[in-house]
Structure 1
Amino acid sequence: MYKWIIIGGGVQGCTIATHLIRQKKVDANQLLIIDSYEKPMHRWQELTSKIGMPFLRSPSVHQIDTNPFSLQHYAKKYNDKSFFGKYKRPALELFNQHSQYVLNSCSILDCWHRGNVCDVKKEGSSWCVKTNNGEVFKSTNLVIAVGSTHDLHIPDWAKGFENVHHVFSSSVTNFSELSSPVVVVGGGISAAHSVIKLANLFPGKVTLLKRKPFKIHLFDSDPGWLGPKYLNSFNKEKELTKRREIITNARHKGSIPRDLYFTLLSLERKGQISIVTDQVKSLSCKDDQKVNLLLESNPTVEASSVLLATGFKQGLPNQSWLSRLIIEENLPCAQCGFPITNQLEWCSHLYVAGSLAELEVGPIAKNIAGARKAAKLITQSK
């Protein structure tokens, strides 16, 4: 019997675990983290390294430890000056090294259990979590910190073609495996990083195909969402459909920071990439090796490989056990299907984080800053 079980060992789950242990809400031997991967934050590291992200978009104060300046102290200790810009955006390698240092200091691996959750039930005053291997774990408190990074959004026109892949799918493990010319579809940060990485592999044979002009924003939502500037009025809004509208409008979806924008323009000037602003109308096979992308303005773009940087599906994480739990426990949900919570408590001793926490945490919920906010609310509740 555990005191806390966290389902999900990504950035969200690890941040919450770190805060619970650091603030002495639980000992490591009373905490269990259940995740489908062998090590903490695996999916985060897999996706960010795949697209070649050199620096985080978030400032250095957004990291998994309780002290907001923990990463800066760590960097100073090891004389690591891998920061970018006035907000000290950390290098991905530095962020990952610091995260590993924090997790080791909290003995997170002693709390780790690799498994796929298949069922969650309330049994008396305990939460019962079952995995596909038939293992059953019980806990007083439960945190659901699962994400949607496996729920890939594939446009209808792209389905059924062998040489069309989502950038985050398992069908492509390394960009060097692709055949050129390569077309990257998308205009956001994942598309930008992917194109920059591909330009080094296939110079002059990479096209960035986006629907709209670039949207330039330093962060993916205004920094005012980190504190009372916007959150006070957001929390006063009791109409949850309006909260959802506020969240949607506040996010700079598909945007990129200015430094990435200038990098792309520089690569275009040098002839290493092409940038096309148009809408894909349809896709057709030219031969066994190539496809043609027919655009709304009528011209076609030829490609041997198409990478979709089209993000993830909207809505609740695609977990059948979560859908059953909502019904069986009659958990309160808004019209959009997301949890109605108080201090991120969905019902007694059941908490949420990440996208599931959006209606309370706001547009930053899925980010590292949102993980810190969720950890603060959850640890304060007990």
Structure 2
Amino acid sequence: MFEWIIIGGGVHGCTIATYLIKSGKADSRNLLIIDPNEEPMAVWKRNTSRISMNYLRSPFVHHIDTNPFSLHHFGKRVGTKEDFYGHYKRPSLSLFNEHTDTILKDITIQNMWYQAIVTGVHKKMNRWAVHTSKGTTLLARNIVISISLNQHLAIPDWADQGNHLKNIHHIFSEEFPELPTLQPPFVVVGGGITAAHTVIKLASLFPGQVTLVKRHPFRVQSFDSDPGWLGPKFMSEFSSSPDYEKRRKWINEARHRGSITKELNQKIQRLQEEKKVHVVTDEVQSANQLSNKVKLKMREGKSLQAKTVILATGFESRAMSQSWLKELIEEERLQCARFGYPIVNESLEWCRHLYVSGPLAELELGPVSRNISGARKAAERIVFNS
């Protein structure tokens, strides 16, 4: 039996594991992380590498270690001045990943890693029983559910594969081909940071053969929500409100969805001036297959043709879509708000010895809950308040 089982080995699961180990509340013998991937943070690494992200959007104090200045000290030791960007010293992706790998090696995460899919969680006496795709049942005193709800790609109706369209790919699909193997010309659909990174990478490989289609003018924001949500400036009123529908409204309004940073905006403007990228502000209405090309009809009447269409349209956030989670809610009568998200206490405890982080904790942690900063806040609440 384990003292702690963490379900999910992404940024959140790894951050919580690090806090548990470094605080002395757990060690590698009584903590287990269950994740379907071979290694920690596999999806993070795959997706950020695919779009060639150079710098994180988060400042240098947001990472998986307990000491907020850990990444900064690490960068001074092994990095260069180029590893921190701008006023907020945003870290390069390579430095962030190297720091993460070092921290996880230090806590011997390989001894705690269990590759499997969770198929059920049930209460067994005063312990939790976690059932997996390997046919195993693992017991723990405490469970932390650190799963992402971004498991369903957002596919526009016009791009539905049921329409028998070829050469349309979502950038975050597991089956996405390597970009250099795809055929130009390209149309990238999306207006946020993922679309911007994708267009910049494609322009370096296929200059002049890339068109970006976005529904709105670029929304330039330094972060994906106001920094005031990290502290009492906004969180005091949020935390004191008993109205969870109001909390949901604040979260939705606070997030800068579909936004990009200033330097990405400048890069795309420069690529436009150099005729390496064409930008269209319009909305795709329909798509038709024409031999080896896809014809996109726009809302304003114009049309575009491409050999490859790449969707940078993000994910659909579906609360409680996993069947085992639905069953757990029913069996334990776990409290949820009207729109499906957990109602938890200040320690992020959903019920005795059952904790959540990431999107499942956002009605308690606010708009930053899904981010790296949210992972740190969740780890602090779970580890130091439990």
Per the TM superposition, whether the score is higher than 0.5 is yes
The amino acid of 1:324's aligned partner reads E
Counterpart secondary structure, 2:368: coil
Q: Show the counterpart of 1:319.
A: 322
Are 1:104 and 2:105 matched, yes or no?
A: yes
Q: Distance in 1 between matches of 2:354 and 2:119?
A: 17
Q: Deviations over 1:224-245 (max 9, x none)?
A: 0111111001001111011000
1:330 to 333, 345, 350: 333
Q: TM-score, normalised by structure 1?
A: 0.98
Question: Which residue pairs with 2:215 in the alignment?
Answer: 211
1:187 aligned onto 2:191: yes
Matched residue, 1:366: 370
Query: What do residues 46-87 of structure 1 show as CA deviations (whole Å, max 9, x unaligned)?
Result: 000001100000001000000000001111122433111010
3-state secondary structure, aligned to 2:153:
coil
Give SS of 2:130's match: strand
Which whole-Å CA distance do the structure 2 matches of 1:225 and 1:345 have between them?
Answer: 21
Secondary structure of 1:120's counterpart equals: strand
The answer as to 2:138 corresponding to 1:137 is yes
Q: 1:192-235: per-residue Cα shift (whole Å, max 9, x none)? A: 00000000111100011000011000000000011111100100
1:127 aligns with 2:128: yes
What secondary structure, in the 3-state scheme, does the structure 2 residue paired with 1:52 have?
coil
Question: Is the partner of 2:138 in helix, strand or coil?
Answer: strand
Distance 2:320 2:149 in 1: 5
**Contact 2:208/2:276, CA 8 A, preserved across alignment:** yes
Any conservation in 2 of the 1:152–1:311 contact (CA below 8 Å)?
yes
Structure 2 counterpart of 1:22, one-letter code: K
Q: Is the 8 A contact 1:185 1:307 kept in 2?
A: yes
SS at match of 1:200: helix
Provide Cα deviations, 1:153-199, integer angstroms capped at 9, x if missing partner.
11111102221111100231311121111111000000000000000
Question: Is 2:263 the counterpart of 1:256?
Answer: no
In structure 1, the partner of 2:152 is 151
TM-score (norm 2): 0.97
Give the counterpart of 1:237 among 229, 236, 241: 241
Match of 2:225 in 1: 221
Could you say which residue in structure 1 is the equivalent of 2:37? 37
Alignment correspondent of 2:24 = 24
What is the rounded CA distance, in whole Å, between the counterparts of 2:34 and 2:320 in structure 1?
16
Residue in structure 1 matched with residue 250 of structure 2 by the alignment: 246
The answer to whether the 8 A contact 1:151-1:318 is kept is: no
Question: Is the alpha carbon distance of 1:162 and 1:170 closer, same or farther for their aligned partners in structure 2, counting shifts above 3 Å?
Answer: farther
Report the Cα distance in structure 2 between the residues aligned to 1:57 and 1:95, rounded to whole angstroms: 12
Paired with 2:196 and 2:321, the residues of 1 have a C-alpha distance of 27
1:257-297 deviations in whole A, cap 9, x for unaligned? 1000000000011000100000111111122x101110010
* Partner-residue secondary structure (3-state), 2:315: coil
Shift of 1:315: 2.7
Q: Find the counterpart in structure 2 of residue 4 from structure 1.
A: 4
Shift of 1:336: 1.0
**1:50–1:173 CA contact under 8 A, matched in 2:** no
How far apart are the structure 2 equivalents of 1:381 and 1:126?
Answer: 20
2:303 matched residue in structure 1: 300
Structure 1 residues not aligned, in runs of 5+? none
The aligned length equals 381
Contact 2:123 2:129 survives alignment (8 Å) = yes
Task: Measure, in 1, the Cα distance between the counterparts of 2:120 and 2:332.
Answer: 13
Aligned 8 A contact 1:146 1:317 in 2 = no
In structure 1, what is the Cα distance between the partners aligned to 2:79 and 2:310? 38
Aligned to 2:313: 310
Identity percentage over the alignment? 50
Moved over 4 A (4+): none
Structure 2 CA distance for aligned equivalents of residues 69 and 18 of structure 1: 15
Q: How far has the Cα of 1:317 moved from its partner?
A: 5.2
- In 2, the alpha carbon distance for the partners of 1:377 and 1:369 equals 12
Q: Does the Cα contact within 8 Å between 2:166 and 2:294 map onto a contact in 1?
A: no
Call closer, same or farther: CA 1:317–1:368 in 2, change over 3 Å.
Answer: farther
The answer as to whether partners of 1:6 and 1:143 remain within 8 angstroms in 2 is yes
Secondary structure, counterpart of 1:363 in structure 2: helix
- Contact residue 333 and residue 340 of structure 1 kept, 8 A: yes
CA contact (8 A) 2:170 2:312 kept: yes
1:95 — aligned with what? 96
Deviations 1:22-42 (A, max 9, x none): 111111211000000111111
Aligned amino acid, residue 85 of structure 1: G
Distance 1:245 1:63 in 2: 28
1:147–1:317 contact (8 Å) kept in structure 2: no
SS at match of 2:102: helix
